[in-house]
């Protein structure tokens, strides 16, 4: 049986790390992490840095936070390909957020469920997951 992978939306990474979601969900993601089934896109760190700059995310040092995150998890980092970036622009104009559009494409290209609570994303042809 093929392993199920989960691509974490930017807010999912933050909420999981801070344990600001149900303990059932935290435990589920922890188990998937132990199995090596959690993916995170490099673009999420760009988005987090931009949110920090706008004062919407409070982290003392994003580099230290990222290092701690990868040192204490089995997260697999994925980088967007040129084709994924192009394909994100070709999606219907339902969602305006370029980060979310790219995550939709990356989830599909990596055969992963997109872990998100965003209510617009399921309008696209992508499998989502939230507990």
Domain boundaries, the chain: 5-129
pLDDT of residue 82: 97
Give alpha helix (H) positions in the chain.
10-18, 23-34, 42-53, 62-71, 82-90, 98-109
Q: Is the pLDDT of residue 43 over 70?
A: yes
Indicate the pLDDT class of residue 2, thresholds 50, 70 and 90. Answer: low
Which CATH homologous superfamily contains domain 5-129?
5'-nuclease (3.40.50.1010)
Q: What are phi and psi of 33, to 5 degrees?
A: -65, -45
């Amino acid at each position: 049986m093929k392993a199920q992978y989960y691509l974490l939306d930017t807010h999912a990474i933050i909420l999981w790390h801070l344990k600001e979601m149900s303990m059932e969900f935290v435990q589920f993601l922890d188990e998937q992490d132990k199995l090596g089934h959690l993916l995170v896109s490099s673009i999420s760190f760009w988005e987090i840095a931009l949110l920090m700059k706008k004062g919407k995310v409070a982290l003392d040092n994003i580099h230290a936070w990222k290092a701690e995150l990868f040192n204490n998890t089995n997260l697999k980092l994925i980088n967007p390909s040129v084709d994924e970036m192009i394909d994100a622009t070709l999606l219907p104009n339902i969602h305006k957020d370029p980060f979310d559009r790219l995550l939709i494409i990356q989830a599909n290209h990596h055969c992963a469920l997109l872990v998100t609570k965003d209510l617009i994303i399921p309008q696209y042809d992508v499998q989502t997951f939230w507990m």
